[in-house]
Structure formats: C-alpha cells, structure tokens
Amino acid sequence: MVSSRTAPPERGTAEAPSREITPTLNPKGEMLWESSPSRYIAKVSLATGKEVLRPIDPDELLVGAHRDKNPIDVTAQYLASRLIQWTGNENAVKDGLRKVNLLGIKLAETLGSAMGSKAVEKRARSLIGVTDRDVFFKFREASHLSEKEVKARIEKLQRDARLLLKARGRSPRLHVLLTGATGFLGKELLAQAANDRRIERLVSVVRPESVRDPKTKEVLRVVSPAQRGALLLKRLHITGAKAKKFVFLGGDIEKPDLGIAPREMARLKKTLTHVVHCAASVSFDDTYENSFRANVQGARNALQFALGIQGAKGTKFIQHIAIETSYIHGRKKKTTAQENALVFPRNFYNNFYELTKAMASLETDYTLVDKGLRVSQLLPSIVIGHSKTGNNRGDTKVVNAPINAFGRSKEAMDALQADAVGRGKAWLIGAIALSFPGDASAELNLVPVDRVVEGILAALTVPESIGERIHLATDNRIRSDDIARITREEIGIDVRLADPTLFRNVTLPIVKAALERGGEPKLANALEKLGTIFGGYNEWGQPIHDVGNDVRILGLPVRRPNTEHAFRMLCRHNKFVQDFGKVRDLDEIARREYLWEKALGDIEHKTGRQVASLPPDEFRRFLTQRIDLKSFTER
C-alpha cells in the first residue's frame, strides 16, 4: 500500500512532520510561495530533531549541491569508481569511503581543538572535503492516520471501484480521459487503445498549437485541438470505425478543470469512467519553476478534476491513473528502490524533473488518503522506443539524443577524410563528440514504451491497483559498457566511456571553453547538455528499482522485454528511419515508421528469427531487399 513514511535519519530521531500541521513559513513568519518544496519536504536539524523553519531552496535538494566542491571530493569519487571496477565489491568501497570521511572529520576536529578555534575546524573540513551535514530532509506525511486506518480506507476504495466496474457488465465499455496525448507515451497509448475493445471512447485534452515563422517568430496560424487530433490519428494510421472512438477537446493541464469548457465538463461528469494523467515535462535540465508548473501543478489539477468527476451526481467514474516515474526515489547508491515506500533519498535528486515528480506523487498520496480519490500510481523508468521496432513517433530526447549525436558525428568525420586538414578536423570531432559520460559498471533501467502502455491499459480494469505504486520498469538492466558495445556494432563508431566525475569537472569545462573560442558554440552546448542529462544516471551506484507489482497486480507477462534487443532496435530505428534526427517532419516519420514496421515483420517471417537477434550486416542486407534506403520507399 502507499506509504510516504520516511526512513530514520542517520542521526537524530525526529518523526516526519505532517504537511497539515507544520506551517511553511519564512524567517519573517510569512507563508511561503505555493510552489516551494517546503510544502512537501521538511528540513530537520540533526542536533534538535526539530524542523528548521526556513524556506528550502530547490537547489539544496539536488545532488549537485552536495558534491564536486573541491579537488579532493572529485578525486575520491573517481578513485571509488575505479576501485569498484577493480575489486567488484561496491559495499566494501562505500564502507571505505565512509571511514575515510570519518577520519577526515577527526583530523579537522583535532586541528580545531589544538588551535582552540571552531573556525579553523570548519575551514579544515572544507579543505579536506569531508561532509558532515547538520540537517536532513524528510517528506511530510500525507496523513495523521495510522497505517491500519490508511489500509482500511484503501481497501474500501478498491471495493467501491470493483462494484462500479462489475456494474458495467462482463465486457465493460470504458470512457477514458487522457492528458498528454501528443507526447511520446500518449501517442503509443492512442495506438494501443485503437485496438482495445474495452475502450468505447477516449477523450484527449489538447492545447491549440501556434505555428510560427522560424525567423520572425510571428504566429502564422493556430491549429485547433480538433485539427491536431485529426492529424495525430492520421500519423498513427488510425482510420475508419476505430477513429470514431477518439475525441479531442481544448484544454490545459496547468489550469483548473484542465481548462475544459463548462459545457464539456457537464458531459464528462455523466460519462467518464477513468482519467489517465500522462502529461508532464521530461526535460532533465529544465528550471525548477517550469518543472513544478508542469509536473506538480499539472498533477494537482488532474487530481482535483478526477475528484470532481468522482463526486458528481450520477457519476460512472471508476478510478484515476497517475503516471509518475520510478526515479522519484532519487539517488540511492545501488540500494533497492521499493515500489510502495517513498523516502527522501540520502543522496538527493539528480534534477528537478525527479524532484517535482516525487512531489507530485506525494500530492497523489494526499488526495488518495485524505480526499478519498480512487487513484493508482504507475511509475515507468527511462522510456525508450517500441521493444520490437524501436519506433518512437519522432521523439529525439533522452536516450535518442546521444545516439543521434554519435551518428551525425560519424557522418561528419567520414565527410572530412579527403585531405590532411579534414582528417585533423575529423580526429578533433571524434575526440570530443564520441566521449560518453558513463561508468562501465553503471546500469540504466530502460523500458520500452509498449510495455508501459500495456501496464496503463491493464490498470483500467484492475481495482486492486488503487492505492499502489507500481514500477513499470525492468529486471534486466543494461550497463553503460553494453550501450557502448551495441552502439559500436550498430553505428560503427568507437564510443569511449568517460568517467562522469572527471567529464563533469575537468574535461567538459576545458572542451567547452575551447569550442566556444573556436566558434563552435552549438557543439559546446550539446556536450554540456549531454553531461547534464547522463552524468548523473551513468555514475556508479545507480538505484535498483524493485519490480513485481506489474506482474502480481496488473497481470502483465512475467518475462519483461529484452533490454539489449530493445536498445539495439532503437539504434537501428534512429539510423535508418530518423537518419540520426535529421528527419524531423512528423508526417514523414509516420510514413517511414509504417514501412519500417511492415519490413521488419516480413524479415521475421522469412528468417523465423527476431530482427534484433540478426547481426547488423545481415539485418541491413534483408532490409535493403525490402526498402530503398535513399528514398525510404518500398521496393
């Protein structure tokens, strides 16, 4: 069951403060701004066990605020990574680091005592690079209720949903409202929903889109939600009777009632059975304010919307499904991130995306327990393209970004081989662009988009998912060195893994400055973004996301997709279909992906083997027999 109880601090015995009784005030006694982390997180003194009533700066909650403060700290992280690779014993290395840290504290205390000065001790600690914080952070409790009372409430919500679902007959006809339909995950959900007989109607909340002149930024035309929806269905090849189940309404998740017009709201209150909230900002380098607005305020509005539907007279509402991320658990140094336990990570968060998604999850807990909303939380890990085809509907973010960058870099290097000057430039590009910040032992939890959507659709008719957090992740994680190997095999480049700590603190600043002075600011910014996005996720000691509820509760197949095969198909898709991100037109992407999927099916039928299991050269030979790769047309 959902629990936001926090783990005991390393020192001190304070209980987690309640979000209802602890005021969030600044030193002047003024109420904090609505989006402050203090609404969800308490800063507690290790000395007194009491809350420190000062506003929490969002930057305090990121790992970047607590590392890389001096050369000794950077060196220690680098050496720890090397020792783990040499010894294979991460626990022993972590224990050794703790002992070295304690030794540094004792040395600083001894020096301060000898000099009779606390200031000298503090300065010594800073120079040595030891960490000894005087505060810790805890999530606020969602409720004052005991675990037994919370369990009883959730069981009642599940019973209510079970009765409502049963009342719709053995073959229930569902009316679902979806946010985020135009996003990567939302598009796949529309594609699978088209063939799901349980879904009679799917209403998508979509904002109007302004088409601007690329140079002047002048608005040339506005595409209505209905027009955007029709274009989306066309690109997904959803036509005829299947297309009639989809409705696209104007709205905005950052507004109350999701910005839906009152007349439409009145209709929805009488018909909706489910709300699926997929909309979010997945920019790992976005500001706190933007992340909060999209991920927390958007979640809050969706929860309140669902609560209003659930409480309406004559409602048919069954449950709300909130899509979060398994990375709400933050940095855990290779300890298990349990599905139903959410504690503030002692190693903090990588970015504001993770932080605000964790805060949104706490908002969901509160609405479940205190307000009685029938809601379940599904938490995907890092979502990549389709497990069998790599299709990503034109997405170029997250894992797609470095693969496309590597491919374009290789093409640029190949084009420069004509003369000595060109070969020199090619060598420079290779030295700079083909370094990937990743520890060889680091593991990424990649999950194909089709597996995630299968989980979302399964939850529609599983009331037992209410009150649960369910990781839509994998138990066959992929290592950084496997990513480098597959990229080398599929793209033909030698990607070199760069230690994330040195890349972040030494290599990147030097290379960025050199590129900017050499007139290459775009490449400099691209490298900085690469380090920002992947530097944290590819360090040693990544969390292990507990999985099981996807099978035990949702009934998904116990054999999860083969992650290496899925990543290999991502590389092939980005190479042949997206041309490493140069094909940006979504209509062209849709045309190509349709032919691609058909060709892959033909190859599997002829060979009797999964296409991902075919060696790269053999796969290309079969592919060129079916598709002219220059024009990407069927032969």
The DSSP line for 274-300 is: EEEE------TT--HHHHIIIIIIHHH
Residue 296 has pLDDT above 70, yes or no: yes
- Do 553 and 462 meet the contact criterion of CB atoms below 8 Å apart? yes
- Do 328 and 357 meet the contact criterion of CB atoms below 8 Å apart? yes
Nearest C-alpha neighbor of 547 from the set 532, 563, 559, 539: 559
Alpha helices in 466-585 (DSSP H): 480-491, 500-502, 508-517, 521-534, 549-552, 563-576
DSSP-derived pairing of the beta strands 219-223 and 209-212:
antiparallel
* pLDDT tens column, 124-143: 666 555 555 688 999 998 77
Residue 223 has pLDDT above 60, yes or no: yes
> Where are the domains positioned within the chain?
70-128, 147-384+453-466, 400-445+477-584
Conformational region of residue 280, where left means phi above 0, alpha means psi within -120 to 50, and beta covers everything else: beta
Cβ neighbours, 10 Å, residue 404: 18
Burial of 608 (0-12, 13-18, 19+ CB in 10 A): exposed
pTM: 0.88
The average pLDDT across 39-47 equals 91
* pLDDT tens column, 163-202: 999 999 888 999 999 999 999 999 999 999 999 999 999 9
Give the range among 88-92, 295-299, 453-457, 462-466 with minimum mean pLDDT: 88-92
DSSP-derived pairing of the beta strands 627-628 and 633-634:
antiparallel
Nearest C-alpha neighbor of 140 from the set 1, 7, 17, 58: 17
First to last CA, the chain: 55
Residue 445 has pLDDT above 60, yes or no: yes
The average pLDDT across 492-506 equals 82
Which residues partner with 342 through β-bridges? none
The one-character DSSP state at 144 is S
Percent of the chain residues past pLDDT 90, beyond the cut: 58
Q: How far apart are CA 370 and CA 499, in angstroms?
A: 46
- The residue assigned the tokens 């092939």 is 572
pLDDT of residue 15: 43
pLDDT of residue 27: 47
Q: How far apart are CA 282 and CA 351, in angstroms?
A: 11
Query: Which tokens is 473 given?
Result: 């992740």
The DSSP line for 209-256 is: EEEE-TTT--EEEEE-HHHHHHHHHHHTT--HHHHTTEEEEE--TTSG
Conformational region of residue 398, where left means phi above 0, alpha means psi within -120 to 50, and beta covers everything else: left
Query: Which tokens is 75 given?
Result: 């060196």
pLDDT of residue 123: 65
The average pLDDT across 259-282 equals 94
CATH number of the 147-384+453-466 domain: 3.40.50.720
pLDDT of residue 26: 44
